[in-house]
Amino acid sequence: MKGGGRRRASPAAVPEPEALVTRVVTDVAGVDKEFDYLVPAGVAAAVRVGTQVRIELNGRRVGGWVVAVGVEPPTGLALRPLEKVRGWGPEPELVDLAGWAAWRWAGRRRTFLSTASAPTAVPVLPNPSWRPPAAPAGLGATADLLAPFPLDRPVTLRLAPAADVTPVVAELAQRGPILVIVPSVNRGSTLATRLRRAGGDVAVVPEDWAQARAGTAVVIGARAAAWAPCPGLTTVIVVDGHDEALGEQQQAPTWNAVAVAGERARRAGVPCVVVSPCPTLDLLAAGPVRLTDRGTERQGWAALEVVDRRQDDPRLGLYSDRLVSRIRAEPRVVCVLNRTGRARLLACASCGELVRCERCGSALIQQPEGDTPRPLVCPQCTLVRPQVCAECGSTRLRLLRVGVTRVSEELEALVGRPVGEVTSATVSWPDTSVLVGTEAVLHRLTPADHFGAVAFIDFDQELLAPRIRAAEEALALLAHASRLAGGRAGKVLVQTRIPDHPVLKAALSADPGILSAGELPIRQTLRLPPVTAVAVVSGPAAAPYLDGLAALPDSPVEILGPDRDRWLVKATDAAVLADALAAVPRPAGRLRVAVDPARL
DNA sequence: CGGACAAGCTGA
DNA sequence: CAGCTTGTCCGG
């Protein structure tokens, strides 16, 4: 702090040499620049790195974050004062981490600062609450896994799907404040409840952001919690580190909570502990994996039954005899099919033409409700047309791919019991002993719902999905189902025409290592992550940007494409890729850079 | 992002 | 040449 005996700040625009000046990153899309402002004497104590402020920029009031205090502004500028101090913001270390993430995923700092901030203004902090949960009575087979951790890279603990992570988290909380990142809000509230029951002070973010910022024993939250405040942090824990929900896949920047957690822990000099029943190649590449004994691991995976459908007549449809008899035999079953609605793909029974939207070309689906014949609707542009073929006018249409609604109707008839339906859009579902749902059903239910069996109706859809990590995600589904079904006592059934797939072998023997051993050579051959680092570049401004990348000295990146106006940029590792992407100035216009996306 | 301002197009 | 559109620049 300079100018202890500072004179009163004059209202004049020309700063006095000793006036306190801050540097601010604005919360305005498109303004990726820092601006300097004077700190009014009355609020100087509240202004630190991370503080959220309001400033006047070009005649309008906008939000921003203080990223430096006591800077030397460029000469000859008439500085404005800060309009207002909005309240507490991210810790200074997280402001730095936002800069790292902006580099790592070719994004903007404000995206990450915004994620690291409270949902509503926090003018004052509550009192800290440091009470940890009671230490677990015994850790059993997991005790050895908690041997001293390296501080420079994450460690993955391979715990079976049905294993409870609460004792591990409680044990680590004995060392001081911990940050726990989980893949879903549901998972977070379950864990929070258990830790609170054990007497721990727990802040669940984003709701309890202010308490987390003030200081508490355990901070828990979903993906964005990788950016939650946690004063005195001693360990970062990621639960289900394989889960794709830990990565932002929809919009750029496509950051990943496991990578943020790892870097955050490394910078703080504390361990990053990742727990996963099925560590991905990305996790294996990031750091060592610690295993329990095989017997313990087996106990946490459900018995898997593979129904080989290669010999079945395709006209038999989605339901093998074995599937139907198993569902009849089980007291409570969940069936999973990753498609909503009645019919996801229709063809004309006379001319064979696919039923597509005449306006936008996407496949029309059958309206899920209403009178028969059900009209056809376009999921893309909401065009509606009666059930006729646009080519030949025939009204006879054939179902090529069936959706969840249709399946629940058909199963009800086949099994002779009422069937409920759960999709991501479902608010509440009936208390039936058979449920049919999209993958969302696995996220909505918990082991406490006592569904002892999970059946995947069309598992090949998962195994063959056009995503880089499709196989790993398929194994993750089986792990999730195993947890829901209650481990060894539960049952998981899959219908498939690829019964020898490594995913199924791995789940059958409760050994996820079988899948990684098979996947790594594929990634090596195709030169895909984690062997390389890739980015997909698209948008109107992509072409000049790629010209810039191609012109970089020593060609650090390989450029492939364009394929449908998208280019693929490959480098030997994430740092080389990030350096290259940052070295080229972004041309004006819209440009999307997705680093390490789910699909290419 | 959104305002300011400059350069380009149009029509009477 | 007013009146309007389109493009580029800039903000402390």
The DSSP line for A242-282 is T-GGGB--SSSS--BHHHHHHHHHHHHT--EEEEESS--HH
CA of A59 vs C1' of C1, distance in Å? 32
Distance CA A494, CA A334 (A): 12
> What integer pLDDT is reported at residue A147 of this predicted model?
96
A385 CA to C1 C1' in angstroms comes to 54
Q: Considering chain A, what percentage of its residues have pLDDT values greater than 90?
A: 72
Report the amino acid identity of residue A244: E
For residue A366, the model assigns a pLDDT of 73
Beta bridge partners of A533: A571
pLDDT of residue A10: 40
- Could you tell me the two tokens for A452? 């002892």
The winner for highest mean pLDDT among A69-83, A273-287, A386-400 is A273-287
Asked whether the predicted pLDDT for residue A542 surpasses 70, the reply is yes
Q: What is the pLDDT of residue A70?
A: 95
Confidence of residue A15 (pLDDT cuts 50, 70, 90): very low
pLDDT the model gives residue A565? 84
Distance in angstroms (rounded) separating the CA atoms of residues A373 and A382: 18
d(CA A475, CA A437): 18
What's residue A506's pLDDT? 98
Contact (Cβ atoms closer than 8 angstroms) between residue A262 and residue A155: no
Where in chain A is CATH 3.40.50.300?
143-292
Q: For residue A11, name the pLDDT band (cuts at 50, 70, 90).
A: very low
pLDDT band at A138 (very low <50, low <70, confident <90, very high): confident
For strand C, which residues in window 256-285 of chain A come within 7 Å by CB?
none
**Separation between Cα atoms, residue A421 and residue A341, nearest integer Å:** 10
Least confident of A38-47, A235-244, A378-387, A527-536: A378-387
Which CATH number describes the domain made up of A143-292? 3.40.50.300
pLDDT for A18 equals: 66
CA to C1' distance (Å), from A322 to B11: 79
* pLDDT, tens only, A325-368: 999 999 999 999 877 555 566 667 777 676 777 776 667 777 76
- The CATH number given to A301-522 is 3.40.50
Strands A558-563 and A566-571, by their bridges, are antiparallel
Please tell me the predicted confidence (pLDDT) of residue A49.
Answer: 98
Identify the residue whose Cα has the smallest distance to the C1' of B4.
Answer: A58
Work out the pLDDT band at A424, boundaries 50, 70, 90. Answer: confident
A397 has a pLDDT exceeding 80: no
Residue-wise pLDDT for A109-127, tens only, equals: 999 999 999 999 999 999 9
Tokens representing A243 are 């889960």
Give the pLDDT mean for A407-427: 86
In this prediction, residues A267-295 reach a mean pLDDT of 98
Task: Provide the H-helix boundaries in A81-141.
Answer: 92-104, 109-115
User: How many residues would you count in chain A?
Assistant: 600
CA of A586 to C1' of C8 (A): 15
Region A261-289 average pLDDT: 98
* For residue A296, pLDDT beyond 70: yes
What mean pLDDT is reported for chain A?
A: 90
Question: What's the confidence (pLDDT) of residue A8?
Answer: 37
Is the CB atom of residue A31 positioned under 7 angstroms from any atom of strand C? Answer: yes
- Least confident range from A53-62, A193-202, A218-227, A366-375: namely A366-375
For strand C, which nucleotides have at least one atom less than 7 Å from a protein CB? 8-12
CA distance A239 to A225: 12
**pLDDT for A376 beyond 80:** no
Mean of pLDDT values over A420-438: 87
Q: Residue A4 pLDDT more than 60?
A: no
- Would the pTM count as exceeding 0.85? yes
The residues of chain A that CATH labels 3.30.70 are 533-595
CATH of domain A7-115: 3.40.1440
Of A3-7, A311-315, A352-356, A376-380, give the range with the top mean pLDDT. Answer: A311-315
Query: Which range is least confidently modeled, A128-132, A235-239, A408-412, A502-506?
Result: A408-412
CA/C1' separation A336–B7 (Å): 61
Burial of A216 (0-12, 13-18, 19+ CB in 10 A): buried
Mean pLDDT lowest among A72-81, A289-298, A354-363:
A354-363
Predicted confidence at residue A1, as pLDDT, reads: 35
CA distance A114 to A64: 9
**Three-class DSSP category at A167:** helix
Could you tell me which residue, A437 or A476, shows the higher pLDDT? A476
Nucleotide nearest to A29 (CA to C1'): B1
> What's the token pair of residue A276?
């996963």
* Rounded-to-5 percentages of helix, strand, coil across chain A: 30, 20, 45
Tell me which of A274 and A461 has the higher pLDDT. Answer: A274
Question: Would you list the DSSP string of A126-153?
Answer: ---B-PPPPPPS--GGGGGGGSPPPSSS
Residue A5 has pLDDT above 60, yes or no: no
Is pLDDT at A6 greater than 50 in this prediction? no
Query: CA of A591 vs C1' of C7, distance in Å?
Result: 18
Q: What topology does CATH give the domain A533-595?
A: Alpha-Beta Plaits (3.30.70)
Q: Where in chain A is the domain with CATH 3.40.1440?
A: 7-115
* Strand C and A80 CB separated by under 7 Å: yes
With bands split at pLDDT 50, 70 and 90, how would you rate the model's confidence at A163? very high
Do A54 and A83 form a contact (C-beta atoms < 8 A)?
Answer: yes
* pLDDT greater than 50 at residue A238: yes
Query: Is the C-beta atom of A35 closer than 7 angstroms to strand C?
Result: yes
Q: What value does the mean pLDDT take over residues A168-181?
A: 98
**In chain A, residues 119 through 148 whose Cβ sits under 7 angstroms from any atom of nucleic acid strand C:** none
Please check the confidence at residue A7 and state whether its pLDDT lies above 50: no
Strand B bases near protein CB (under 7 Å) are: 1-4
- Structure-token match 């308490």, residue found: A211
Question: DSSP letter at A317?
Answer: T
> Of all nucleotides in the shown strands, which has a C1' nearest the CA of A79?
C12
Structure confidence at residue A2 (pLDDT): 35
What is the reported pLDDT for A567? 94
